[in-house]
Structure 1
Amino acid sequence: MSQNEPAKARHVAIIMDGNGRWAKQRHLPRAVGHQRGVEAVRRVVRGARELGLEALTLYAFSTENWRRPEEEVSDLMGLMKRFILSDLDEFAQAGVRLKIIGDYKAFTPDVVELVEKAIQRTSGNSGTTLAVALNYGSQDEIARAAARAAEKGTITPETISAELDTADLPPLDLLIRTSGEVRLSNFLLWQAAYAELLFTDVLWPDFTAEHLGQALEAFRTRERRYGGR
């Protein structure tokens, strides 16, 4: 890339927000909003692959989401299982590699088994990496990384970075949040230190590959200084 050529994003992360609001606006159960949110995931993963992203990280289930009503958590788990079962063949054939960040082993054994089989099946793929944050909280991730760095020796920004869940991914370029909320909600706090941020009013079930493409075009117009002039 020449010095004057706009930067191209390699790694994009998305806080997928607005499923419940989407359903409420249509007088539908929240579960329907989550179902439409899964359809948006399919669209965006396909779009990320077609747009040449090296990595796409999606905030699917946070450590705080356990506080939601038990029925809603159960619905989310069921959707996750159906998504893996129905879409894994397509992702595997398309060269998508699945990666999980967070403590997914806190889920029920059937979910853990499905996740681990999906990770294993796509481990040799070299296309876009789809990193899904499950039972993930950034503060917890940083604490775990710092503890591992301390066990090995000196704690520095570099040694902590090397122990993060995302250590094998490209640096985060762009973080998107849908639904009009303007906060990071304990997501990729360390990784977002110099990432570009984009907040959109589009609710997640309405988010498309075209929206992702527009976000990448907006990214290319930004001047990234990393604290310099």
Structure 2
Amino acid sequence: MELTKRLEAIASHVKPGSIVADVGTDHGYIPIYLVKKGLVKMAYAMDINSGPLLKAEQNILAHGLKDFIETILSDGLLELSNRDVDTVIIAGMGGMLIKKILEEAAPHLKYIPNLILSPHLDVEAVRRTVHELGYCIEEEDFIKDEEKYYGILVCKHGQERYLTDLEYRYGKKLLFQKNQVYSTYLTDQMMGKESILKQLQSAATPASQLRYEKIRCELADLSEVIRCLSM
């Protein structure tokens, strides 16, 4: 089966021979792809909603993979229990929800050496959380798929802390990789903030002035980050 560019990018970071749990699996596309390609020995497709999980079960049966992929109705990782999993994928949801899922599963994470995370929002919160939970960020990827941007964090057990807020906000690994897609994304972000700043210049309310100063500081940070990427 073929995946979208986003899902294929996520799947590409799974180490061959892994046992994977895909949280928020939706239709089960990633586990099916990984098993059919022979990249994993076993996979668990997990979702909090029975509707998407039923669809995943139907897709798994249609591909003849019921002996290799188990579906689990679960709020995050709570029902994973003692299953032998070495890689957890969490994608397709906001960063604060991913943070919550990881924190609630903290006692079990010491048995799970690898995380592949793709938050839609609040990536900074996810970076901080994985560090707090005993993971280092091994790699970050950043792609564009159907006019939308997506970041991917590849994490493994280890101790790591970033030295600056900018590294957490924009991703230390991405800053060193010189990712062209990421550079384009940040340039788009800067142009949007510059437009907002112009609109706020004539505003006189205290709230508007506070927002003006906040965006002005964000623009200064963005300019520095983009400069680093272009060096």
Q: Is TM-score (shorter-chain normalized) higher than 0.5?
A: no
Q: Give 1 or 2 for the bigger CA radius of gyration.
A: 2
Structure number with greater CO (CA < 8 Å, separation at least 6) is 1
The bucket for the TM-score relative to the shorter chain is 0.3 to 0.5
Provide the TM-score with structure 2 as the length reference. Answer: 0.34
